[in-house]
Amino acid sequence: MRFATKPIRVGQDLDQDHRAVIQPLYQSATFGWKSLSDIPDIDYTRCQNPNRQTLEQIIASLENGKHCTVFASGMASIMGAFSLLQSGDHLLMASDIYGGTFRVAEKLLPRYGIQVTDICTKDPNSIEGHIRPNTKMIIFEGPTNPNLSVMDIAGIASVAKRNGLISVFDNTFASPYLQNPLDMGIDIVVHSTTKYISGHSDVIGGALITNSQEIHDQMFEYSKTVGAVPSPFDCWLTVRGLKTLAVRMKQHCENALAVAQYLEDHPKVAKVHFPGLPSHPDYELAKKQMKDFGGMVSFEVKGTGEDACTFAEGCSIFLLAESLGGVESLIGYPPLMSHATMTEEQRVAKGIPATLIRLSVGIEDKDDLIEDIAQALAKIPAREAVGV
C-alpha cells in the first residue's frame, strides 16, 4: 500500500454494525467485560481506545514502523522518550532544537538526576567526543526549529548504534511524507501530531514510533501509567486530518519554495533559511534525505528586532500565532514564542537573533501569500543590516 492510500485505508475497515465508511467515535471512558475470564483488549480509554488504536496503526505505517504510541501533546511524547532514562543517565541534546524540548532538558530532567549536554550535531563524527560512560540517549531534529538546518540522520544514527545510545529524532517539521528516519537507523521518531499530521490547527497531540518491541512496551506503559493520552475525539480528528496529508504536503512544499525564492531576492531581507534553496548550506543533504523541502521558511530582516515585529504584525493573510503545519499560513516570532524560555544570550548563541521570523506556509494561493509578504515588508524602513 502506497503512502497516500495508507491514511485512508489502514486500520479502517467498515463498521461492523452499519458499515459506516468513517470510523465511529468511541466516546466512552470504559468498556464492558463479557466475563472475568474473558479480559477484553480494550477496557479503559486511559489504556487504549478504538480511535486511538486506529491512529497508532496509521502513523506507524506512514513512518514504516512496527509500533506507535500516541500522546496528549508533542511535549508529552518527548517526555515519553525521556522516560527511558533513569537517574544518573546522561543525555546528549542537539543545540539547534525546539524550545520546549530545551526547557524540559534544562529545567526538569536535572531534578530527576539526569545529566544533559547541549552539543552541535552538524558533524556526526564530532559526537563521540561528548559521549560518557553513562550516556544513554541522543535527541535531535531536522529541519530544525527555527533555523531549518538539516542533520545527517543516518550518520548520527550510526554513531548512536556504535556507542549503544538510543537515538531520538523529532520529525515534526518534515512529516512522514517527506522523510522516514526509522529507515535511516533511528530508534525512536517523535511527532507533534498537532502540526502537519493533523494539519488543521484544531487538535493537540503527539506520537512516538519505533521498531523495537522493548522500547514500545516501555513507552506504552509510561503513557498508561501517567495518563498522558489523547481523547477519543482528538484521535478521531487526527485521523480525519491525516487523510489529506499527502495532498496538503505537496501544496505546502510548492508554496514554501515560492515564498523562499521571493524573500531571497528582497532588498529588506538579510538571510533566508530554507533547505530547498541551492544557497542553503544543507541543500544537497536535504535533497538526499527528503522527498521535498517542507512548508517551513525562516528569514532575517535587515534592521532590528523592532523591524521584525513590524513585519510580523503587518501581514493579514499570514496570521500572527504560535504553532505550524496547519492549512493556514502562520507567522511565528521565536524570541517571544517557540524559544521564549531561552535568554537572549542563549538564543543569539543558537542562531536565533531578534530579527528572525518563522513562517509556516499554508496551502492558500501562493500569489496571495507573496503579495501579503510584500506589503508587510514595505512597512519596514529601508536600511542596512545592523545586527540584533
pLDDT in tens, 67-97: 999 999 999 999 999 999 999 999 999 999 9
Return the pLDDT at 16: 84
- Measured in whole angstroms, the distance separating CA 45 from the mean position of its chain's CA atoms is 25
Instruction: Give kind and range of the element (H or E) at residue 305.
Output: helix 305-314
Give the mean pLDDT of the chain.
95
Instruction: Give kind and range of the element (H or E) at residue 221.
Output: helix 213-226
Please work out, in degrees rounded to the nearest 5, the angle formed at the alpha carbon of residue 135 by the alpha carbons of 133 and 138: 150
CATH numeric code, 6-242 = 3.40.640.10
Is the pLDDT reported for residue 333 higher than 90? Answer: yes
How big is the chain by its Cα radius of gyration, in Å? 21
How far apart, in whole angstroms, are the C-alpha atoms of residue 224 and residue 372?
46
Active site residues: 46, 98, 170, 195
Please work out, in degrees rounded to the nearest 5, the angle formed at the alpha carbon of residue 100 by the alpha carbons of 99 and 102: 60
Query: Range with the lowest mean pLDDT among 3-12, 143-152, 250-259, 377-386?
Result: 377-386
Residues of the chain with pLDDT > 90, as a percent, come to 91
**Model confidence pLDDT, tens digit, residues 131-168:** 999 999 999 999 999 999 999 999 999 999 999 999 99
Is the pLDDT reported for residue 386 higher than 60? Answer: no
Give the mean model confidence (pLDDT) for residues 37-52. 95
**Model confidence pLDDT, tens digit, residues 197-256:** 999 999 999 999 999 999 999 999 999 999 999 999 999 999 999 999 999 999 999 999
Return the pLDDT at 387: 46
Residue 206 contacts residue 188 (beta carbons within 8 Å): no
Give, as one character, the DSSP assignment of residue 39: -
How does residue 384 score in pLDDT terms, banded at 50, 70 and 90? low
* Residues with Cβ within 8 Å of residue 241, at least 6 apart in sequence: 197, 198, 199, 200, 202, 203
Tell the CATH topology of 245-377: Aspartate Aminotransferase, domain 1 (3.90.1150)
Q: Give the start-to-end residue ranges of the domains of the chain.
A: 6-242, 245-377
Residue 293 contacts residue 276 (beta carbons within 8 Å): yes
The C-alpha cell that represents 150 in the structure block = 538539516
How far apart, in whole angstroms, are the C-alpha atoms of residue 211 and residue 172?
18
Instruction: Tell me phi and psi for residue 35, to 5 degrees.
Output: -165, 170
How does residue 344 score in pLDDT terms, banded at 50, 70 and 90? confident
Predicted TM-score (pTM) of the model is 0.95
Of 293 and 381, which is predicted with more confidence?
293
How does residue 338 score in pLDDT terms, banded at 50, 70 and 90? confident
Instruction: Give kind and range of the element (H or E) at residue 330.
Output: strand 330-332
How far apart, in whole angstroms, are the C-alpha atoms of residue 126 and residue 120?
8
The C-alpha cell that represents 338 in the structure block = 517557540
Return the pLDDT at 347: 87
Return the pLDDT at 388: 41
- Measured in whole angstroms, the distance separating CA 227 from the mean position of its chain's CA atoms is 22
3-class SS of residue 58: helix
Return the pLDDT at 373: 98
Return the pLDDT at 383: 66
Instruction: Tell me phi and psi for residue 319, to 5 degrees.
Output: -95, 135
Is the pLDDT reported for residue 376 higher than 90? Answer: yes
Instruction: Give kind and range of the element (H or E) at residue 156.
Output: helix 153-162
How does residue 339 score in pLDDT terms, banded at 50, 70 and 90? confident
Residue 61 contacts residue 189 (beta carbons within 8 Å): no
Name the residue type at position 292.
D
Q: How far is CA 24 from CA 6, 15, 51, 143, 199, in A?
A: 19, 7, 8, 36, 21
Residue 115 contacts residue 104 (beta carbons within 8 Å): no
How far apart, in whole angstroms, are the C-alpha atoms of residue 344 and residue 273?
20
Q: Please choose, from the candidates 308, 373, 380, 261, the residue with its C-alpha nearest in 3D space to the C-alpha of residue 146.
A: 308
